[in-house]
Amino acid sequence: MADPTERNSAWIRRYHPRSDSDVRLVCLPHAGGSASFYHPVSAAMPPSVDVVALQYPGRQDRRAEPCATSIAELADEAVAELLPWADRPLLFFGHSLGATLGFEIARRLENDHGIVLGGLFVSARRAPSRVRVETVHLRDDQGVLAEIRRLNGTDAGLLTDPEVQRMVLPAIRADYRAIETYRYEPGPKLRCPVVCLIGDDDPKVTLDEARAWAKHTEGPFTLRAFAGGHFYLSAHQAPIVGLIAGHAATAVSPNTPYPTVQGPTTA
């Protein structure tokens, strides 16, 4: 297998290369988000964890490229990009849309390539089998912006700038279309551990919807609730990084059991 560090890819951002790491963490952004959202996470990880973040088409330096039209399209393209990086145990961390995308990529890696993740961290997203009818992508521009402000995902001051709006709205709308039209197709359960993280005041996912992730894996399931809303993780970076790093240590020690939590704990 070719050394992935020698490959250039529009999809892959690697801010702090750790070529001698034991584990590789793949970070997947939220709707409208970009790889740079995970720069602080990459900087905070210990040397044992190499971090790569996905850059979806249609934003920042990929703004001239057409956005994906579905989660399936994103997942299929991401798998091809990530295969050369599977030279060591993989962990995924996906926030919101990124959680569902991470799940679909993990399914493809297991079913088509025999690659089982060391762990799948799903943040601020209900289980794939739990459906809500959501139509943010059908709103006018001001309606889409109102939803982003409601979730506190983007600085409100930036959203008042017409030029910023012109640059970011196409990707935001396309991402919302992809996640809101996603429908889970039943299939084999994952075999990897799944760790679900949520904010206890997140309007996009209830505790019951989060618990339902347990039905999508044969591996251990952990649920952890933090104080905050949809972007709770911005205020809890240190404990989240610690949680991932601790899990990464077990991913390279097959004889070490994964911790299983029956219910959520709150931080």
The active-site residue, picked from 30, 137, 230, 247, is 230
Over the stretch 186-204, which tens digit does the pLDDT of each residue have?
999 999 999 999 999 999 9
pLDDT tens per residue, the chain (267 residues)? Answer: 445 554 558 999 999 999 899 999 999 999 999 999 999 999 999 999 999 999 999 999 999 999 999 999 999 999 999 999 999 999 999 999 999 999 999 999 999 999 999 999 999 999 999 999 999 999 998 999 888 888 886 555 566 777 878 888 999 999 999 999 999 999 999 999 999 999 999 999 999 999 999 999 999 999 999 999 999 999 999 999 999 999 999 887 544 433 333 334 444
For the question of residue 95 being annotated catalytic, the response is no
Question: In the prediction, which pLDDT does 88 show?
Answer: 95
CATH architecture of 4-132+186-266: 3-Layer(aba) Sandwich (3.40)
The reported pTM is 0.91
Residue 216's nearest CA partner among 113, 75, 117 is 117
Report the alpha-carbon angle 177-182-183, nearest 5.
155
Q: Are 51 and 12 in contact (CB under 8 A)?
A: no
For the question of residue 230 being annotated catalytic, the response is yes
Q: Are 135 and 124 in contact (CB under 8 A)?
A: no
How far is residue 149's CA from residue 154's CA, in Å, rounded to a whole number?
7
Question: In the prediction, which pLDDT does 148 show?
Answer: 87
The active-site residue, picked from 21, 96, 123, 216, is 96
Question: In the prediction, which pLDDT does 5 show?
Answer: 52
Question: In the prediction, which pLDDT does 253 show?
Answer: 53
Q: Which residues of 33-64 are buried (b: 16+ CB within 10 A; e: fewer)?
A: bbbebbbebbebbeeebbbbbbbbbbbeebee
The sheet carrying 12-13 orders its strands as: 12-13, 49-54, 23-28, 90-95, 119-123, 194-199, 221-226, 265-266
Question: In the prediction, which pLDDT does 258 show?
Answer: 37
Where are the chain's structural domains? Answer: 4-132+186-266
Over the stretch 62-106, which tens digit does the pLDDT of each residue have?
999 999 999 999 999 999 999 999 999 999 999 999 999 999 999
Question: In the prediction, which pLDDT does 165 show?
Answer: 82
Which amino acid belongs to residue 60? Q
